[in-house]
A and B are shown apart, each in its own frame.
Chain A
Amino acid sequence: MYSFTRRRLIVVLLLTSVLLLTLDRSESGLVGGVKDAFGVVFRPVERFANVVSRPLSNVWRGVLDYSDMRKENLALKDLLVKQEGAAIAATASVREAQELLALNGLPTLAGIDSVTAQVVGQSPSNFTQTFELNRGKSSGIRVGMTVTNGAGLVGKITGVTLERSVVMLATDPEYAMSVKVGACTRANTTTTSPPQTTTTLATDGSSTADTMVPGDGSTAPVTTVAPTTTTTTSTTSTTTTVLQRATTTTIKGFTPFATTLPPIPGGGGATQITVPESGVLLPRETGAMEGQGIDRLPVIRFIQSSSRLGELCAGVPVVTAGGSQSLAPADLVVGTVSRVVTRTGTSGPLLEVELAANLGSLNFVRVLLYQPATEIPQ
């Protein structure tokens, strides 16, 4: 039999919980204040416990993780050697892209300040996926800011105190982000491509004209539609070639047109620049990426299969979409599509994303001091 006291106790505890949950969900500042105050009291106790328990943690890690760590170390060394060359090329490309964006007055990631912080703890819960950083409000970090590491997107800041901040990982079920994804570049699509004309004016005055195909120019089969009309306007220096549109049955990726400009006066050779044409660039579709929890890959929803986008396939890169309402600036690397789940009806395909950042072994991360409009307090 329940006594009155027992029933009253249960009711009081239940009501208190409901009250706390309501305060939390209404984003009352009271909850944050109480947590901050508790953190001030609790932090020294936690530090003491950390010192006391560290030897035990190290023994545990040493016993259980040693062989795995050795294997991982060897694999990483191999990977590092392979990546060094690619990284140099990628850095050059990124720099070029940033210069181009800056020249055109477009925002770039290079223009956003950032703070480097170290991961000092992670959530003790089996359900939430958060990390704690050793930087907080005093370093300019605010709620909503994007966190990345060298590889790509990691998550976003969900809580800040003076010297600490909490990062919600991109795999957390509560995490959502608008992203862009492109169509795959498989060689089985039939596309009509514009012609490419390479004109080379050499220093001796003679000129040549040639036709190229976007993509793997050396191997892709080409069907050129005749006729080709050649008009010679000068006997010594100029040749104008007019080609009809070339129809190709196989296009591999995008290779911009190569145009050789006339030589620089006084220069010895020819200068080559690349001029992409907007019609040849692969279209990209925007969708919403949502975390799915521990051990599950995030998924992208609301992508529509359309003839404009083309075929979706695994391996294509995923980047942030940006925009005034987005949580992150545009073109931040998120990862690659690992699987395409086709769904019937109007729901569109579901894309699983393999994140570029390894969330299992984070140490130092970069917080972009970019606070989205939606997170700025009114």
Chain B
Amino acid sequence: MKRFFAIIESPFTRAFLVGMIVLSFQTTLFNTLRPFSVVMQILLLCSAASGVAAGSESGAIAGFMFGFMYDMVLTSPFGLSALVFGFAGYMAGGVNTFAYSPRWWFKMLSVGISSAAAVLIYPAASLVVGVDGLLQTRVLGVALTVGLFNAVLALPAVALMRWALVKSKKQMLWAE
């Protein structure tokens, strides 16, 4: 029983549940809202926010998990989003460590830059696995828009992912 509760309380179980809900809004609400004809990538936002909230390693794992879930609903090569989102989580965590005590704007910057980088890497990675035609100049506009949007929503996303991935002291005592 204790083991069961430990699994339920596991950060990655929580992240998975958060991911399911976020994915459902990605495929519905955010699929409709397309500023400048660009689909907002909130799963990518959560991946980058995970890195900022819980560090590079946790960001990479959470990003990989979110990307894997995203791959389930896409027809693009399976595993590509997992790879790119994992990279985004890892990069966001890495950028955030440049500041000793990162201020709110630095977190926004970390999330925005890593999101834009992930959008740029995606078509390049797809080219490597044999999917031609995605690497176009339009990608720059998409990366800029997604980066800006994710930077704006970075702070609530970081708070959400901190809740999901970082155990509080109270919870750790209870688990023991």
Contact = CB atoms under 8 A, between A and B. Distances in A.
Contact of A127 (B60, B90, B126, B130): B126
Interface residues of B, number: 53
A19 B27 CA distance: 26
A60 interface: yes
B64 A49 contact: no
A35 B72 contact: yes
Nearest to A31: B78
A6 B130 contact: no
A49 B76 contact: no
Residue of B21, B64, B74 with highest tally of chain A CB at under 10 A: B74
A216 interface: no
B133 A174 contact: yes
Interface in B119-176: 119, 122-123, 126, 129-134, 136, 138, 142, 146
Tell me if B's interface is mostly helix, strand, loop or mixed.
Answer: helix
Contacts of A186: none
Given A16-B82, A21-B77, A25-B77, A45 B24 contact: yes
A281 B132 CA distance: 38
A24 B29 contact: no
A48 B142 contact: no
A20 B72 contact: no
B79 A24 contact: yes
A60 B80 CA distance: 31
A48 B24 contact: yes
Interface stretch (B7-15, B31-39, B102-110): B31-39
B114 interface: no
Given A14-B83, A21-B79, A121 B122 contact: no
Given A16-B82, A34-B72, A49 B21 contact: yes
Nearest to B68: A20
Given A6-B56, A49-B24, A121-B27, A292 B133 contact: yes
A20 B33 contact: no
B75 interface: yes
A276 to B, nearest CB: 40
B73 interface: yes
Interface in A25-53: 25, 31, 34-35, 38-39, 42, 45-46, 48-50, 53
Given A21-B80, A48-B24, A174-B133, A60 B32 contact: yes
B61 interface: yes
Contacts of A127: 76, 122-123, 126, 134
Given A5-B57, A9-B61, A25-B130, A295 B138 contact: yes
Contacts of B80: 17, 21
A101 interface: no
Given A46-B28, A53-B25, A159 B129 contact: no
B85 to A, nearest CB: 10
A25 B27 CA distance: 24
Contacts of B23: 42, 45-46
A17 B70 CA distance: 13
B31 A124 contact: yes
Interface string B81-123: 0110010001000000000000000000000000000010011
Contacts of A168: 75
A291 B70 CA distance: 24
A210 to B, nearest CB: 56
Interface in A104-132: 121-128, 130
A20 B82 contact: yes
A19 B64 CA distance: 14
Contacts of B69: 38
B78 A13 contact: no
B75 A158 contact: yes
Given A124-B73, A125-B39, A126-B119, A50 B78 contact: no
B32 A61 contact: yes
Interface string A173-191: 1100000000000000000
A349 interface: no
Contacts of A128: 74-76
A166 B80 CA distance: 19
Contact of A46 (B27, B30, B122, B134): B27
Interface of B: 20-21, 23-33, 37-39, 41, 56-57, 60-61, 64, 68-80, 82-83, 86, 90, 119, 122-123, 126, 129-134, 136, 138, 142, 146
Interface of A: 5-6, 9-10, 13-14, 16-21, 23-25, 31, 34-35, 38-39, 42, 45-46, 48-50, 53, 56-57, 60-61, 121-128, 130, 158-159, 166, 168, 173-174, 291-296
Q: List the 6 closest pairs (A to B, CB-CB), nearest first.
A: A173-B133, A20-B79, A53-B29, A24-B78, A49-B24, A17-B83
18 contacts: A13-B61, A14-B83, A17-B80, A20-B78, A21-B80, A23-B78, A42-B20, A42-B73, A49-B25, A124-B70, A127-B76, A127-B126, A128-B76, A130-B75, A158-B75, A159-B75, A166-B75, A293-B134
